[in-house]
Structure formats: C-alpha cells, structure tokens
Amino acid sequence: MMRWSPALLLALLAAAPWLGFSGSYEFTLMARAMVLALAALSLGFLVGGAGLVSLGHAAMLGVGGYAVAILDAHGVTEALLVLPAAVAAAALFALLTGAIAIRTSGVHFIMITLAFGQMAFFTASSLAAYGGDDGYTLYARTEIAGHRLLENRLAFHYLCLALLAGAWLLLRAILASRFGRVLRATRENAQRAEAMGFAPYAYRLAAYAIAGAVAGLAGFLMANATEFVAPSAIAWQRSGELLFMVILGGVGSLPGAILGAAAFVVAEEQLATLTEHWRLIFGPLLILAVIFLPHGLAGRHRG
C-alpha cells in the first residue's frame, strides 16, 4: 500500500487539471504541495538515507529561490541558465556549510544546521537590493529557451510534477547504488561502515550536497510558483515544518516524505479555514503525532 500510494498521488496530481481542479486556487495549492514535497523529499533523503537530521533545510530552498531572484534582477530569465544556477548555488551552499556541520553529529549537527539556516535567513533579509525583509517580486516567470512557457499554468503544473517524480526516482536510485549502500551503512552503524574501510565524512557530505541540489530545484520552483521570494519563506520554522513532513510520512521512506508534504499542505489549508489561530490546533496535533506515532503515518519503520 505505502509502496504505491505516492505513485497514486502523483497520478492524481497528473489527472487533477482534467478532473475539475483547474482553478487558480487549486493550481496554487497543488504547486505549493509539489514544491514542499520536493523539498521534503530531499530532506527525507538526508534524514532517512544518511541519518542527518538538518534543521536548516529551508535555507537550501532559499538559496535556490534567491538565485532565481538575483538573476531576474539582472535580467537573466532563461531557464537553461537559471535552473542550473539555482541548483548549483544550493549544492555549493550545502557543500560549504556541510563541510563544517558534518564534522559534528547528533544534537550538534541539529543546532549547527539551524544556525546556518538562520545565517542564510538574515543574509537574505539584509539584501536590500533584492527586497530585503519585504522580499523580491520577479518580473516574470523563468523562460524556457526564450519561450514564456511557464506562464501557462498547466505547463507549470506538469513541470513541477515531472521534476518531483524525477527527483523521487533519482534519489531512490542513489539510495540503492553503491554510494547509497555506504550511506545507509553509515546511518545504521557508523562503526561498522568504518570497519569496512569507509570514512563516513565524504559520503555524508556528498549526500548533503545532493540534498541541497534537490532543495535548490524546489527553490527554483517556489520562486516561479509565487513569482516572489522572501526571507519569511525560508525562516527556520519552514525547516521545522519540512522535518515534520518527513516524520509524518515515516522516516527512512522517500515516498513518505511526499505523502507527508501533501498531508501537511491539506491539513494546514483545512485548519486555516477554521480559525486564524490554526496553529493552536496544528501544534498539539504535531506533538501528539510525535508522541503516539513514532513511525509516522505509514505506521512502520523501514529498515
């Protein structure tokens, strides 16, 4: 069931525009869900695959998003340039901060990633040329080979879907590869991985950069979905939410991260219609979920 439910979810998203979910509101909501799912997927890869619990993952999203904004401000709106730049910038940021963060482990790692995330947040806030605290509005969505294809909602919808599905398959393949095996070994039993001749650092750092790259991709989509980038979108609370999505779906499972993100967006949307203080309901739900569902919604722990 769990194994196929994300495929089902992706199929539903593919069919949605033809099932009446084709209004502006629905497209916005689905884009939001897919962007967050992509970000959660990359974090799920990190947490489940490498055992690296990052509380600064939103920063990767932000670096990708700000790459789009900064290029936009300088008149560069060609996807063939912008997309690789966003992905590379996020991967590079991950590589640089990871090089220090991964020297530590456990709770140190959590705190350091949080601190680096906050550093990115404050840096974004101080970029007065790109909107500072208020954020930056794009002139237009990124163009593809000179065509303004992404202005078309349907095209953008399917681009998000394709990238999400592609990232899922890619990360799944990586986890099953030689590299992925070493990575999973360092997560399960670092001492044993060392006894097999693997120094965990390089593998963890590579995984961190890969997760950063995928989150950068999510950032690219986020910027284009809303045509807006702001520090508030990459605040540390977003990192906490991403972590919650990963846990909600069950740690160690990539499909779980996708489902968790979808469930999160739907829950948030539903609760927000009830009361402006929806976090008063959401917070306790989160706490109860952590205490009573240690293995996530999926209900079991994948080895």
What are the tokens at 161? 């879907």
- Cβ proximity to other proteins: between 28 and 275 the closer is 275
Taking CB under 8 A as the rule, does residue 180 contact other proteins? yes
Positive or negative torsion for Cα 34, 278, 112, 294: negative
Taking CB under 8 A as the rule, does residue 103 contact other proteins? yes
Taking CB under 8 A as the rule, does residue 251 contact other proteins? yes
Residue type, 222: M
Q: Least CB distance from residue 280 to other proteins, whole Å? A: 5
Interface segment toward other proteins; rule CB under 8 A; list 2-10, 69-77, 97-105, 211-219: 97-105
What residues between 10 and 29 interact with other proteins by CB under 8 A? Answer: none
Interface segment toward other proteins; rule CB under 8 A; list 6-14, 76-84, 158-166, 242-250: 242-250
Kindly state the number of chain residues that form the binding site for other proteins, as judged by CB under 8 A: 69
Taking CB under 8 A as the rule, does residue 118 contact other proteins? yes
**Which of these, 84, 103, 18, 123, lies nearest to 217 by C-alpha position?**
84
The one among 144, 179, 228, 267 contacting other proteins by CB under 8 A: 179
Q: Least CB distance from residue 19 to other proteins, whole Å? A: 33
Q: What's the CA gap between 73 and 251, in Å, rounded? A: 39
Say how far residue 39 (Cα) sits from the centre of its chain: 1
Phi, psi of 74 (to 5 degrees): -100, 15
Q: Least CB distance from residue 23 to other proteins, whole Å? A: 29
Taking CB under 8 A as the rule, does residue 166 contact other proteins? no
DSSP state of 233: G
**Which of these, 52, 59, 132, lies nearest to 90 by C-alpha position?**
59
The CB density around residue 42, as the number of other CB atoms within 10 Å, is: 31
